[in-house]
Chains A and B, each alone.
Chain A
Amino acid sequence: MNNRFAGIDIGSRTIELVVVDEAGKIVRSLQADTGYAPMRTAEKLLNGESFDRIMATGYGRNLFEVAFDASTVTEIKAYARGVRAFFPTALAILDIGGQDSKAIALSDAGKVRKFEMNDRCAAGTGKFLEIMAQALNYHLDSFGEAALLSTKQLTINSMCTVFAESEVTTLITGGENRNDIAHGLHVAVVQRAANMLRRVWTGGPVVFAGGVARNTCILHLLEENIGQKVFVPEDPQMVGALGAALLVSDDV
């Protein structure tokens, strides 16, 4: 029988499950909202899936390790492995997820060379964009598109979610166009993310992963900021789970 390997990425917002075959080809790929009982959500996702071994990553990895007797790996290493499966020559990864962001530099062989993570606050992460979209009354999925329609440069100074929200309110009452405000917020996020990337990146192909990589305005601004094309995996949120699945299969 063919061996199958699973990786599960238990994030604060969503949980992803990926199953690969012996050749590393994705055979299953599932996602669910984490909810308030992450282990119950994980159990539901696993229900009916068959695999020989599983590895967990993400902030809930240690809960999973205890509950399901699995091995674990950090998001950093899992992302490195997962990204390399899509882009074998990638030398840097920027990941902006729901509540954290990270930049990872890879060696030519694909090993993690150096990394940076945001500190404890959610500034500049998916959560920040979500709250700002709400404040401007946009649906999160169309937030980036709207920002691309902007015709005027506005500067947002605060990256703290609370301060930025009041800055946005001031701009709205000041009669500014909401697409322009949206654009200003996107610029601020990219500025911060690009600085983080620069702390580790020394040139070479860059991959953008995590939920925020779906935002076309962020992607566009990021490319502009670092002056080169940025690659995005087909399913940018699955990278961590895929990496974990591949790592456990590498072990065998």
Chain B
Amino acid sequence: MFEETYLTRIEERVFKDTILQKETGAKIVGVYCAFTPKELIAAAGAIPVALCSGTSQAIPAAEAHLPRNLCPLIKASYGHALNDTCPYLHMADYLLADATCDGKKKMFELLADLKPLSLLQLPQTAETPESHASWLQELYRIRALLERRTGISITDAGLLAQIRIYNTLRATICEVFALNCGEMPLLYGYEIDHITSMAGFECNLPARIGEMREAIAAVHQRSKDTLFQKKMQHRPRILLTGCPSTNKKVLKLIEENGGVIVAMENCGGLKTAGFGVDETGDPMESLAKRYLDTACACMSPNPRRIDILKKLINEYRVDGVIELTWEGCHTYNIEAFTIERAISEQFARPYLHITTDYSQNDTGQLKTRIEAFLELLA
């Protein structure tokens, strides 16, 4: 029901809306990580767009500048900038990037030669008052920077309005996921991916939220569809965690071989959508708190990730956990050890760790591993 064509239609709609707004002077700001508060960008009248790439075409070009054993997400994102092959990046007026992992941080230094880029100096921990204070300062700096760039001053009222819209968006994404909490999951992971995708530019969010709502209503019908239920019934319920699943090859393999991804903990999934910004306090402080708490493996320690996993395993009646990490991603690959221990010892669920890149040359081997994992869950 929610195939590629479903998403393509929405992408086209979003593109048109964006062109219209750009003609009236709106700036486009490219972002890379989950720590950048998009509310700030939107409150400055600009349009945020996430730029992490999931395709392999631009990687060879990137390898002319970057080491080969670097995370594919970083190489792909940089390669698109070099080749100018990403329409979203092409249309961006400037970039806001977070100092997360070493690979991204240093790649951004090179990227700054290709596009105007400002780096958000991210503290490495969310556990101390000092780190919160410095992050708040950093957000004030970015706020001023955005105001200078757009010529629009960000008011607290405007910021609060954006916080509300983004909270609604996050809550709606959670509602989509929640369709899989029941005894019978109603969505395949690839469908969740399409329904909740930002489809490019984050412009005209109320329309995007409306589309998600329509999808939710349509999916409810499935609870009466016996044919659908028959196909879904015996599929082991998988929770996907790890690096952002920018490239879909593993997601596809899991569902083609008889599993169903009921929930995704990674960036773009419930790690980010699962948490709203407090609407009652000072908006800047609320933003700083919410965003610094992002359960990314770049943070040390990163206790919130285990808490999220625990909650999801119970809420989504998860049979097994698959962790997808990209080759060269030290933060997630190392944290996988801690995650595996928690999953198998504390939560008593089977766990499979897959490390791969964007290429197709290990599909046969991955298929066997995923199939064997699903066999042991059956």
Contact = CB atoms under 8 A, between A and B. Distances in A.
- To the question of whether A and B form a pair in one complex, the answer is yes
Interface of A: 59, 73-77, 100, 111-115, 117, 119-120
A112 B369 contact: no
A232 B327 CA distance: 35
A179 to B, nearest CB: 34
A100 B362 CA distance: 12
B365 A113 contact: no
20 contacts: A74-B375, A75-B368, A75-B372, A76-B368, A76-B372, A76-B376, A77-B372, A111-B376, A112-B372, A112-B376, A114-B376, A115-B372, A115-B376, A117-B365, A117-B369, A119-B355, A119-B362, A119-B365, A120-B361, A120-B362
Contacts of A100: 365
Contact of B371 (A74, A113, A119): A74
Interface residues of B, number: 14
Contacts of B361: 120
Interface string B356-367: 000001101100
B241 to A, nearest CB: 17
A239 to B, nearest CB: 15
Given A73-B375, A76-B375, A114 B364 contact: no
Contacts of A74: 368, 371-372, 375
Q: Which 4 A-B pairs have the closest CB atoms?
A: A76-B372, A74-B372, A120-B362, A112-B376
Among A111, A112, A113, the most chain B Cβ lie within 10 Å of the Cβ of: A112
B350 interface: yes
Contacts of B376: 76-77, 111-115
Contacts, number: 39
Contacts of A77: 372, 375-376
Nearest to B368: A74
B contact patch SS: helix
Contacts of A119: 355, 362, 365
A83 B371 CA distance: 20
Nearest to A107: B376
B253 to A, nearest CB: 13
B314 to A, nearest CB: 22
A76 B371 CA distance: 9
Given A75-B368, A111-B376, A117-B369, 7 more contacts: A74-B371, A74-B372, A75-B372, A76-B376, A77-B376, A112-B376, A114-B376
Contacts of A117: 365, 368-369
Given A77-B375, A114-B350, A59 B362 contact: no
Nearest to B353: A116
A120 B375 contact: no
Given A111-B376, A112-B376, A113-B376, A59 B364 contact: yes
Nearest to B373: A115
A9 to B, nearest CB: 13
Contacts of B373: 115
A113 B352 CA distance: 11
Contacts of B369: 115, 117
